[in-house]
Amino acid sequence: MNLEQIRACCHVDSNGCWRWDGSLIAGHPGNIWVDGKQYSARRYVWMLKHGQPPPAGWFVSLKCCHADCANPRHMYLRTKSQITLASRKPSLESLMRSTAKQRARAPKLTMERAREIRARAGAGETYAAIAPDYGVCIAMICRVVRDKAWRESSPWAGLRR
Ligand SMILES: [Zn+2]
């Protein structure tokens, strides 16, 4: 099978995608038989185009959003971990869990120390100089100084403590 023959198995859409007319597996072009061997159609197209299969650990992916596309020009290689990263959308629960974890890990600051930080920043000290003294990152200092964290909730916040 050559690329011409592969293309003949597809209809070309307005994006130039070669939409596979053969059988699909999970929306992807299915397997094809060449010389008694079975290949994933996409992988085989890659081999035809580049003269060799993708290196070990690399997988053929598509730049276009059509999973059934077999156009070699729409293909590129990704590693398994890139694919996993791209497809992993953080669920709300996992976001909440990580926020909870951060909270559990983070209470290095108190309102008292936040006020100190704001005073020091106000006196012209850099965030980079302040951060190590409190065991927090510069971004945290930034948040405190900008009242994004450890904000004074009301003028009486201090009195209630
Ligand atoms: Zn395509």
Q: Does position 158 have pLDDT exceeding 60, yes or no?
A: no
Per-residue pLDDT at 1: 84
CA 47 to ligand 1 center in whole angstroms:
17
Give residue 81's pLDDT: 83
- Cα(85) to ligand 1 centroid in Å equals 21
Q: CA 90: distance to chain centroid?
A: 10
- How far, in Å, is the centroid of ligand 1 from the Cα of 88? 22
Q: What is the mean pLDDT of residues 109-115?
A: 89
Give the whole-angstrom CA distance, residue 37 versus residue 47: 14
pLDDT tens digits for range 2-57: 999 999 999 999 999 999 998 888 888 989 988 899 999 999 999 999 999 999 99
**What would the mean pLDDT of 123-147 be, rounded to a whole number?**
90
Q: 41 CA distance to ligand 1 centroid (A)?
A: 14
Residue 103 vs residues 51, 136, 147: alpha-carbon distances, Å: 53, 13, 17
Ligand 1 centre to CA of 55 (Å) is 22
Average pLDDT of the segment spanning 46-73: 93
Q: What are phi and psi of 55, to 5 degrees?
A: -60, 155
Beta strands in the chain (DSSP E): 10-12, 18-20, 24-25, 28-29, 31-34, 37-40, 58-62, 75-79
Compute the distance from residue 31 Cα to the ligand 1 centre, in Å: 18
pTM: 0.53
Alpha carbon of 74 to ligand 1 centroid (Å) = 5
CA of 62 to the centre of ligand 1 (A): 7
Report the chain's mean pLDDT, rounded to a whole number.
Answer: 85
